[in-house]
């Protein structure tokens, strides 16, 4: 994946977990990486780690649930590095856990704003820039729950299904303009999002995966990097599960 070298890559939600792993792998492959997160301390730490390893990165703080912040993020990326070649729209939250009848309006709106609206906002401005350049690759972070349901997670499930749909639409609309858009669907990954779970709850999650363990962030990052590269030049509008067999059941 040497073709990533010297390209500008933006990763949202890059302060921890999958986003951090993606940003670090992009940098390892030679990309100039814009690390974005709502948590400045975490984001700056990722930038420091990338630079310590010999990579190139900057941090731009952004609350991607806000359209204006997304527009400013893409503008800031181009101002810093002169282009936007690769974008991984990864930022997301677990959201409120409740059955639909008990879900708060606020909880629903928040998870839709962070997990779905943000992807639309980022893509809107990413695509505008990539159209100027005549080429680009976008990878949206969906989920296994972009394909199936999960009790108590209606907002998350609806948002991730929406991300898959947005990905397919962008693929149809912009393929002829040189822009590829794909989605990745991780199962339960061993990230800080699961830190508050007790051992019994984690073991329950493990039991849902035929492979017998949770996934690791770097395993997702490897697929994202491939989809971002010219090695995936005929891959467009696809959804790739990284799930240890979860969806095969």
By annotation, the residues acting in catalysis are 156
Q: Using only C-alpha atoms, what is the Rg of the chain?
A: 17
- State the angle between helix axes of 154-174 and 105-112 in degrees (0 to 180), rounded to the nearest 10: 30
State the Cα–Cα distance between residues 219 and 231, nearest whole angstrom: 18
Report which DSSP code applies to 116: I
- State the angle between helix axes of 17-28 and 217-228 in degrees (0 to 180), rounded to the nearest 10: 50
- CB contact at 8 A, 16 and 40: no
- CB contact at 8 A, 138 and 177: no
Cα–Cα distance list, 43 to 8, 146, 162, 233 (Å): 17, 27, 27, 30
- CB contact at 8 A, 66 and 43: no
């Amino acid at each position: 994946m040497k073709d990533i070298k010297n390209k500008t890559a933006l990763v949202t939600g890059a302060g921890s977990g999958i986003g951090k792993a993606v940003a670090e792998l992009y940098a390892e492959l030679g990309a100039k990486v814009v690390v974005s997160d709502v948590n400045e301390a975490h984001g700056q730490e990722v930038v420091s780690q990338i630079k310590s390893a010999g990579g190139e990165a900057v941090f731009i703080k952004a609350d991607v649930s806000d359209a204006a912040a997304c527009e400013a993020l893409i503008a800031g990326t181009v101002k810093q590095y002169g282009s936007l070649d690769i974008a991984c729209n990864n930022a997301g939250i677990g959201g409120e856990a409740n059955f639909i009848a008990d879900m708060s309006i606020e909880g629903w709106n928040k998870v839709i704003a962070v997990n779905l609206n943000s992807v639309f906002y980022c893509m809107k401005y990413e695509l505008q820039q990539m159209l100027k350049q005549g080429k680009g690759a976008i990878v949206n972070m969906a989920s296994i729950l972009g394909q199936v349901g999960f009790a108590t997670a209606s907002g998350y499930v609806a948002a991730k299904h929406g991300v898959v749909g947005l990905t397919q639409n962008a693929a149809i609309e912009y393929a002829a303009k040189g822009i590829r858009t794909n989605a990745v669907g991780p199962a339960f990954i061993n990230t800080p999002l699961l830190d508050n779970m007790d051992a019994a709850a984690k073991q329950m999650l493990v039991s849902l995966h035929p492979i017998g363990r949770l996934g690791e962030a770097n395993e997702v990052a490897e697929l994202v990097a491939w989809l971002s590269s010219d090695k995936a030049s005929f891959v467009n509008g696809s959804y790739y599960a990284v799930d240890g067999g979860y969806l095969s059941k």
